Amino acid sequence: MTATLAILPIFGVIVLGYVLGRRQWLTAESLVGLRTVTFKLFMPCLLFLGIARAPLGEVLSPWLLLAYYLPALGVFMLINLWVWRRSGESTVLGLAGSYSNNVLIGLPMAASLFGDDGLMFVYAILAFHSLILFSAHSLFAAIVDARGQQLKPLTMLKGMINPIIVGLMLGGVVNLLGITLPDTLTTMLEWLGRAALPCALLVLGVGLTRYRLHLSATIGVITMLKLMLFPALVALMTAWLPGISPMARQVVVLLAAGPIGVNVLAFVTRPEQQRDIGACIFLSTLAAALTLPVWVAWMHG
Protein backbone atom coordinates (compact mmCIF):
# COMPACT_ATOMS: atom_id res chain seq x y z
CA MET A 1 0.00 0.00 0.00
CA THR A 2 2.85 2.40 0.80
CA ALA A 3 4.41 1.79 -2.61
CA THR A 4 1.09 2.31 -4.34
CA LEU A 5 0.47 5.57 -2.49
CA ALA A 6 3.92 6.77 -3.56
CA ILE A 7 2.85 7.07 -7.21
CA LEU A 8 -0.45 8.85 -6.51
CA PRO A 9 1.20 12.33 -6.47
CA ILE A 10 2.40 11.66 -10.02
CA PHE A 11 -1.13 11.28 -11.32
CA GLY A 12 -2.28 14.09 -9.02
CA VAL A 13 0.05 16.54 -10.79
CA ILE A 14 -1.08 15.17 -14.19
CA VAL A 15 -4.73 15.79 -13.20
CA LEU A 16 -3.78 19.29 -12.03
CA GLY A 17 -2.20 19.97 -15.41
CA TYR A 18 -5.31 18.68 -17.16
CA VAL A 19 -7.52 21.01 -15.09
CA LEU A 20 -5.23 23.96 -15.81
CA GLY A 21 -5.43 23.20 -19.52
CA ARG A 22 -9.20 22.72 -19.58
CA ARG A 23 -9.77 25.98 -17.73
CA GLN A 24 -7.28 27.76 -19.99
CA TRP A 25 -5.15 28.87 -17.05
CA LEU A 26 -2.30 27.49 -19.14
CA THR A 27 -2.99 28.65 -22.69
CA ALA A 28 -1.55 27.08 -25.82
CA GLU A 29 1.12 29.79 -25.98
CA SER A 30 2.17 29.37 -22.36
CA LEU A 31 2.21 25.59 -22.77
CA VAL A 32 4.68 25.91 -25.64
CA GLY A 33 6.98 27.97 -23.40
CA LEU A 34 6.65 25.56 -20.47
CA ARG A 35 7.27 22.53 -22.69
CA THR A 36 10.29 24.16 -24.30
CA VAL A 37 12.02 25.15 -21.06
CA THR A 38 11.17 21.77 -19.48
CA PHE A 39 12.54 19.55 -22.22
CA LYS A 40 15.34 21.78 -23.48
CA LEU A 41 16.67 22.96 -20.11
CA PHE A 42 15.24 21.42 -16.92
CA MET A 43 15.14 17.78 -18.04
CA PRO A 44 18.58 17.77 -19.74
CA CYS A 45 20.07 19.26 -16.56
CA LEU A 46 18.46 16.53 -14.44
CA LEU A 47 19.63 13.74 -16.74
CA PHE A 48 23.11 15.21 -17.25
CA LEU A 49 23.79 15.46 -13.52
CA GLY A 50 22.19 12.12 -12.78
CA ILE A 51 24.23 10.11 -15.26
CA ALA A 52 27.40 12.12 -14.50
CA ARG A 53 27.13 10.85 -10.91
CA ALA A 54 25.86 7.36 -11.73
CA PRO A 55 27.94 4.22 -11.16
CA LEU A 56 27.80 3.29 -14.84
CA GLY A 57 29.73 0.09 -14.38
CA GLU A 58 26.94 -1.22 -12.17
CA VAL A 59 23.85 -0.06 -14.07
CA LEU A 60 24.88 -0.44 -17.74
CA SER A 61 24.45 -4.20 -17.68
CA PRO A 62 23.95 -5.84 -21.10
CA TRP A 63 21.59 -8.33 -19.43
CA LEU A 64 19.42 -5.49 -18.11
CA LEU A 65 19.27 -3.82 -21.53
CA LEU A 66 18.45 -7.15 -23.18
CA ALA A 67 15.70 -7.83 -20.63
CA TYR A 68 13.99 -4.56 -21.54
CA TYR A 69 14.63 -4.15 -25.25
CA LEU A 70 14.09 -7.72 -26.44
CA PRO A 71 10.44 -7.67 -25.21
CA ALA A 72 10.05 -4.11 -26.53
CA LEU A 73 11.15 -5.16 -30.02
CA GLY A 74 9.04 -8.31 -29.77
CA VAL A 75 5.86 -6.32 -29.04
CA PHE A 76 6.87 -3.81 -31.73
CA MET A 77 7.14 -6.54 -34.38
CA LEU A 78 4.00 -8.36 -33.21
CA ILE A 79 1.83 -5.26 -33.62
CA ASN A 80 3.46 -4.09 -36.85
CA LEU A 81 3.13 -7.48 -38.55
CA TRP A 82 -0.50 -7.76 -37.41
CA VAL A 83 -1.37 -4.34 -38.87
CA TRP A 84 0.68 -4.95 -42.02
CA ARG A 85 -1.13 -8.22 -42.74
CA ARG A 86 -4.44 -6.36 -42.44
CA SER A 87 -3.60 -3.17 -44.35
CA GLY A 88 -0.35 -3.78 -46.23
CA GLU A 89 1.06 -0.49 -44.92
CA SER A 90 3.49 0.58 -42.22
CA THR A 91 2.01 1.81 -38.96
CA VAL A 92 2.95 3.81 -35.89
CA LEU A 93 0.95 1.46 -33.64
CA GLY A 94 3.92 -0.88 -33.15
CA LEU A 95 5.99 2.00 -31.82
CA ALA A 96 3.08 3.03 -29.59
CA GLY A 97 2.85 -0.46 -28.10
CA SER A 98 6.55 -0.56 -27.21
CA TYR A 99 7.54 3.05 -26.43
CA SER A 100 6.94 3.97 -22.79
CA ASN A 101 6.65 7.47 -21.40
CA ASN A 102 9.88 6.97 -19.46
CA VAL A 103 10.67 10.68 -19.11
CA LEU A 104 7.31 12.05 -17.97
CA ILE A 105 6.14 9.00 -16.00
CA GLY A 106 9.12 6.67 -15.53
CA LEU A 107 11.51 9.19 -13.99
CA PRO A 108 9.13 10.59 -11.34
CA MET A 109 7.82 7.10 -10.55
CA ALA A 110 11.32 5.70 -10.01
CA ALA A 111 12.32 8.75 -7.98
CA SER A 112 9.24 8.39 -5.78
CA LEU A 113 9.56 4.65 -5.22
CA PHE A 114 13.31 4.03 -5.20
CA GLY A 115 15.08 7.37 -4.83
CA ASP A 116 18.37 8.13 -6.58
CA ASP A 117 19.41 4.46 -6.63
CA GLY A 118 16.42 3.57 -8.79
CA LEU A 119 16.98 6.51 -11.10
CA MET A 120 20.31 5.03 -12.17
CA PHE A 121 18.51 2.18 -13.95
CA VAL A 122 16.12 4.62 -15.64
CA TYR A 123 19.11 6.52 -17.02
CA ALA A 124 20.52 3.26 -18.40
CA ILE A 125 17.29 2.54 -20.30
CA LEU A 126 16.89 6.15 -21.45
CA ALA A 127 20.38 6.21 -22.93
CA PHE A 128 19.24 3.80 -25.68
CA HIS A 129 15.45 4.24 -25.66
CA SER A 130 14.94 6.56 -28.62
CA LEU A 131 17.97 5.23 -30.50
CA ILE A 132 16.73 1.61 -30.57
CA LEU A 133 12.97 2.07 -30.97
CA PHE A 134 12.98 5.05 -33.33
CA SER A 135 15.57 3.30 -35.52
CA ALA A 136 13.48 0.11 -35.54
CA HIS A 137 10.38 2.05 -36.58
CA SER A 138 12.17 3.98 -39.31
CA LEU A 139 13.70 0.79 -40.70
CA PHE A 140 10.40 -1.11 -40.65
CA ALA A 141 8.55 1.78 -42.31
CA ALA A 142 11.19 2.06 -45.04
CA ILE A 143 10.93 -1.66 -45.81
CA VAL A 144 7.17 -2.23 -45.84
CA ASP A 145 5.61 1.13 -46.69
CA ALA A 146 3.60 0.71 -49.87
CA ARG A 147 4.65 4.18 -51.03
CA GLY A 148 8.25 3.04 -51.26
CA GLN A 149 9.79 5.45 -48.80
CA GLN A 150 13.55 5.11 -48.50
CA LEU A 151 15.50 5.04 -45.28
CA LYS A 152 17.19 8.39 -44.65
CA PRO A 153 19.94 8.04 -42.03
CA LEU A 154 20.36 11.81 -41.60
CA THR A 155 16.63 12.24 -40.96
CA MET A 156 16.70 9.41 -38.43
CA LEU A 157 19.72 10.92 -36.68
CA LYS A 158 18.09 14.35 -36.51
CA GLY A 159 14.98 12.85 -34.94
CA MET A 160 16.96 10.98 -32.31
CA ILE A 161 19.38 13.74 -31.31
CA ASN A 162 17.54 16.11 -28.99
CA PRO A 163 18.47 18.00 -25.79
CA ILE A 164 17.50 15.03 -23.61
CA ILE A 165 19.79 12.65 -25.51
CA VAL A 166 22.55 15.28 -25.56
CA GLY A 167 22.22 15.70 -21.79
CA LEU A 168 22.57 11.95 -21.30
CA MET A 169 25.56 11.74 -23.65
CA LEU A 170 27.41 14.66 -22.07
CA GLY A 171 26.75 13.27 -18.61
CA GLY A 172 28.18 9.95 -19.73
CA VAL A 173 31.32 11.67 -21.06
CA VAL A 174 31.80 13.52 -17.75
CA ASN A 175 31.34 10.26 -15.85
CA LEU A 176 33.67 8.15 -17.98
CA LEU A 177 36.42 10.79 -18.03
CA GLY A 178 36.15 11.40 -14.29
CA ILE A 179 35.64 15.15 -14.72
CA THR A 180 34.89 17.05 -11.49
CA LEU A 181 32.34 19.81 -11.99
CA PRO A 182 32.72 23.14 -10.15
CA ASP A 183 30.47 23.42 -7.08
CA THR A 184 28.73 26.49 -8.47
CA LEU A 185 27.83 24.71 -11.70
CA THR A 186 26.67 21.63 -9.82
CA THR A 187 24.38 23.72 -7.61
CA MET A 188 22.87 25.46 -10.65
CA LEU A 189 22.23 22.12 -12.35
CA GLU A 190 20.62 20.75 -9.20
CA TRP A 191 18.26 23.73 -8.92
CA LEU A 192 17.24 23.51 -12.58
CA GLY A 193 16.88 19.74 -12.42
CA ARG A 194 14.45 19.94 -9.50
CA ALA A 195 11.96 21.74 -11.74
CA ALA A 196 12.06 19.01 -14.40
CA LEU A 197 9.72 16.36 -13.04
CA PRO A 198 6.79 18.50 -11.79
CA CYS A 199 6.92 20.64 -14.95
CA ALA A 200 7.01 17.54 -17.16
CA LEU A 201 3.93 16.12 -15.43
CA LEU A 202 2.09 19.42 -15.81
CA VAL A 203 2.97 19.47 -19.52
CA LEU A 204 1.62 15.93 -19.90
CA GLY A 205 -1.62 16.83 -18.11
CA VAL A 206 -2.20 19.95 -20.18
CA GLY A 207 -1.27 18.05 -23.34
CA LEU A 208 -3.98 15.44 -22.70
CA THR A 209 -6.62 18.13 -23.25
CA ARG A 210 -5.67 18.05 -26.96
CA TYR A 211 -6.72 14.41 -27.41
CA ARG A 212 -10.17 12.86 -27.57
CA LEU A 213 -10.97 9.48 -26.08
CA HIS A 214 -11.86 7.88 -29.41
CA LEU A 215 -12.35 4.18 -28.64
CA SER A 216 -12.06 1.21 -30.98
CA ALA A 217 -11.06 -2.44 -30.71
CA THR A 218 -7.62 -1.67 -32.16
CA ILE A 219 -6.95 1.11 -29.66
CA GLY A 220 -8.05 -1.15 -26.80
CA VAL A 221 -5.77 -3.97 -27.97
CA ILE A 222 -2.74 -1.69 -28.36
CA THR A 223 -3.32 -0.22 -24.90
CA MET A 224 -3.66 -3.69 -23.35
CA LEU A 225 -0.49 -4.96 -25.03
CA LYS A 226 1.42 -1.88 -23.87
CA LEU A 227 0.27 -1.92 -20.25
CA MET A 228 0.09 -5.68 -19.65
CA LEU A 229 1.96 -7.83 -22.19
CA PHE A 230 5.09 -5.68 -22.47
CA PRO A 231 5.78 -5.50 -18.69
CA ALA A 232 4.88 -9.18 -18.27
CA LEU A 233 7.51 -10.14 -20.85
CA VAL A 234 10.08 -7.89 -19.16
CA ALA A 235 9.27 -9.49 -15.80
CA LEU A 236 9.87 -12.93 -17.31
CA MET A 237 13.13 -11.86 -18.92
CA THR A 238 14.49 -10.25 -15.75
CA ALA A 239 13.64 -13.39 -13.78
CA TRP A 240 15.41 -15.59 -16.32
CA LEU A 241 18.53 -13.60 -17.17
CA PRO A 242 21.46 -13.53 -14.71
CA GLY A 243 22.96 -10.61 -12.82
CA ILE A 244 19.86 -8.41 -12.51
CA SER A 245 19.28 -7.07 -9.00
CA PRO A 246 15.78 -6.98 -7.43
CA MET A 247 15.68 -3.18 -7.63
CA ALA A 248 16.76 -3.16 -11.27
CA ARG A 249 14.06 -5.73 -12.06
CA GLN A 250 11.37 -3.65 -10.37
CA VAL A 251 12.43 -0.47 -12.14
CA VAL A 252 12.50 -1.87 -15.68
CA VAL A 253 9.21 -3.74 -15.24
CA LEU A 254 7.52 -0.54 -14.08
CA LEU A 255 9.06 1.39 -16.98
CA ALA A 256 7.59 -1.16 -19.38
CA ALA A 257 4.22 -0.83 -17.63
CA GLY A 258 4.08 2.94 -18.17
CA PRO A 259 1.73 4.61 -20.65
CA ILE A 260 2.61 5.37 -24.26
CA GLY A 261 5.14 8.16 -24.78
CA VAL A 262 3.93 11.31 -26.52
CA ASN A 263 7.01 11.34 -28.80
CA VAL A 264 5.29 8.65 -30.88
CA LEU A 265 3.19 11.45 -32.41
CA ALA A 266 6.32 12.73 -34.18
CA PHE A 267 6.13 9.71 -36.53
CA VAL A 268 2.49 10.11 -37.53
CA THR A 269 2.14 10.65 -41.29
CA ARG A 270 -1.63 10.36 -41.88
CA PRO A 271 -4.62 12.11 -40.24
CA GLU A 272 -6.28 8.85 -39.18
CA GLN A 273 -3.05 7.86 -37.44
CA GLN A 274 -3.07 11.16 -35.54
CA ARG A 275 -6.53 10.38 -34.20
CA ASP A 276 -5.73 6.78 -33.26
CA ILE A 277 -2.33 7.49 -31.68
CA GLY A 278 -3.74 10.44 -29.73
CA ALA A 279 -6.51 8.18 -28.43
CA CYS A 280 -3.96 5.48 -27.52
CA ILE A 281 -1.88 8.00 -25.54
CA PHE A 282 -4.95 9.32 -23.74
CA LEU A 283 -6.41 5.89 -22.94
CA SER A 284 -3.09 4.37 -21.87
CA THR A 285 -2.43 7.29 -19.51
CA LEU A 286 -5.87 6.95 -17.94
CA ALA A 287 -5.61 3.16 -17.72
CA ALA A 288 -2.08 3.33 -16.27
CA ALA A 289 -3.54 5.10 -13.24
CA LEU A 290 -5.25 1.76 -12.53
CA THR A 291 -2.70 -0.76 -13.83
CA LEU A 292 0.51 0.80 -12.47
CA PRO A 293 -0.58 0.45 -8.81
CA VAL A 294 -1.26 -3.24 -9.55
CA TRP A 295 2.24 -3.70 -10.98
CA VAL A 296 3.77 -1.74 -8.07
CA ALA A 297 1.91 -3.89 -5.52
CA TRP A 298 2.92 -7.10 -7.31
CA MET A 299 6.58 -6.12 -7.65
CA HIS A 300 6.75 -5.12 -3.97
CA GLY A 301 4.89 -8.23 -2.89
pLDDT at 146: 47
Q: Examine the pLDDT at 221 and tell me if it is beyond 50.
A: yes
pLDDT at 250: 95
Q: Quick one: angle between helices 163-177 and 107-144, nearest 10? A: 110
| Cα–Cα dist 260/83, whole Å | 18
CB neighbours (10 Å) of residue 162?
Answer: 14
Instruction: Note the pLDDT tens digit of each residue in 231-271.
Output: 999 999 999 999 899 999 999 999 999 999 877 876 777 76
Instruction: Note the pLDDT tens digit of each residue in 181-213.
Output: 999 999 999 999 999 888 888 887 887 787 666
| Cα–Cα dist 122/237, whole Å | 17
Report the CATH fold assignment for 2-300: Na+/H+ antiporter like fold (1.20.1530)
Q: Which of 120, 136, 144, 122 is nearest to 52 (CA)?
A: 120
Dihedral (CA of 184, 179, 102, 234) sign: negative
The model carries a pTM of 0.78
Q: Where are the domains of the chain?
A: 2-300
Question: Residue 31 CA to chain centroid, in angstroms?
Answer: 20
